[in-house]
Amino acid sequence: GNSVTQMEGPVTLSEEAFLTINCTYTATGYPSLFWYVQYPGEGLQLLLKATKADDKGSNKGFEATYRKETTSFHLEKGSVQVSDSAVYFCALSNQAGTALIFGKGTTLSVSS
C-alpha cells in the first residue's frame, strides 16, 4: 500500500541554519507529493507540492524536489527563522486523488 516515511524529530536549529527534513514514499502509480505545515495551535496549511517526477515545489524559501528514482521529497530551506517553528508533514495523494496519506510529522524548533 501507499505510505510516507519522515525523519523522526524533533529537529532543533539555530536561526539562519540550513534545514533538511527527509521524506520518502512508497506508492503505486504516480502520486503527487505535498508538504503541509502546522503552526502551534493552528490547522494544516499547504506549504508546497509537486505533481510529477523532477518537479520542484517552492514557497516561503522552502523547496522540495520530486525524485522518482529515490522515491524521495526532501524539504529544504537555506536559512530558517524562529517563525518557521512548526510541525511539518510530508504527504502523498494517490493517483485517484481520493485522499492524502501523511507521514508522522517532524517538529522543527528554531531558536534565536
Partner 1 sequence: DTAVSQTPKYLVTQMGNDKSIKCEQNLGHDTMYWYKQDSKKFLKIMFSYNNKELIINETVPNRFSPKSPDKAHLNLHINSLELGDSAVYFCASNTNRGTSGNTIYFGEGSWLTVV
In the complex, the smallest distance separating the C-beta of residue 39 from partner 1, rounded to whole angstroms, is: 11
Assess 59 for contact with partner 1 (CB under 8 A).
Answer: no
Q: Which is nearer to partner 1, 98 or 112 (CB)?
A: 98
How many residues of this chain interact with partner 1, rule: CB under 8 A?
A: 28
Region from 13-21, 27-35, 75-83 binding partner 1, contact rule CB under 8 A: 27-35
Grid coordinates standing for 84?
Answer: 518557521
Give me the phi and psi of 88, to 5 degrees please.
-110, 130
| Cα–Cα distance, 43 to 24 (Å, whole number) | 23
Three-class DSSP category at 101: strand
**Toward partner 1, which CB reaches closer, 8 or 15?**
8
CB of 78 within 8 A of CB of 98?
no
